[in-house]
Amino acid sequence: MSEPVMVELRLIEQTFRLATTADKKEELERAGQLLNEKFHEIRRNAPRTEHNKLVIMVALSLMQEVLTLNKSLQEYAHCERLLSTIMQDVEKIV
């Protein structure tokens, strides 16, 4: 198990001190970077929108991406099962 560390991140124009582990620190920092990029992208598209509304828009956008990825993974798993069944059938024939 990796040792616990504190990470200070500037996220969506606020500073946060977060606990993580040494082996997850880089991943957390990258996640923060992606969050900030999404925030600034949405801010560019809606420059007059209130900060709190922008945060909600970012959260919704990220959740849509999660749902899309989850659907893709489910479809991939289904295809993998079908391919496995086909391979078993082919092996029986050969």
3 state SS for 8-33: EEEECCEEEEEEEECCCHHHHHHHHH
pTM over 0.85: no
What is the DSSP code (8-state) at residue 47? T
Give the separation between CA 28 and CA 32, rounded to whole angstroms.
6
Q: Where are the domains of the chain?
A: 2-65
* Residue 9: half-sphere exposure toward Cβ, Cα within 13 Å: 20
pLDDT 10s digits, 36-88: 999 999 999 999 999 999 999 999 999 999 999 999 989 888 888 988 988 88
